[in-house]
Amino acid sequence: MNFFKNENTKELVMYGAFGVATTVVNIVLYRVLLMFSIDYKISNLIALIFTKLFAYIVNKNFVFHSKCQNILQLCKEFLKFVVARGFTGIIDYFGLIFAVEVMGFSQVYSKYVLQFIVIVLNYVFGKKAVFNKRD
């Protein structure tokens, strides 16, 4: 298929697939924690931390195919990822609180909407700031 010969297209498709997987993990974990009567803020925080680690692993290895030459390079890459995903995590965390407590929206549906926003931002930050190609 010529469609997948373009590296950017293949990367975008892989990001989409693993983005969906990460989102599913995030939402399922969030919903399971809610079922155990854990406060939605705590549930969201736990789900965010777990899925950020999952996302780093899959983005590094399967989407952007990032290779680090040494441990220092790996630590820098991970730190950039934590900062970038920390920013979108803040949007996710406080956006959910705003949607639920200020706007009066559903805890579950608000999480779904925020996931779309976060996915787009994560791709941009991942591509431009974290997993950029090294010389």
Which strand (E) or helix (H) includes residue 16?
helix 7-35
| Tokens 């407590």 -> residue | 101
Tell me the average pLDDT of the chain. Answer: 90
Structure tokens at 110: 């608000």
Residue 135 included in any domain: no
pLDDT value at 5 more than 80: no
What pLDDT score does 2 carry? 64
Residue 17 included in any domain: yes
Q: What does the radius of gyration of the chain's CA atoms come to, in whole angstroms? A: 16
Q: What pLDDT digit, counting tens, does each position of 72-97 carry? A: 999 999 999 899 889 999 999 999 99
- The domain total for the chain is 1
Q: Domain range spanning residue 20?
A: 2-130
What pLDDT score does 21 carry? 94
What pLDDT score does 4 carry? 63
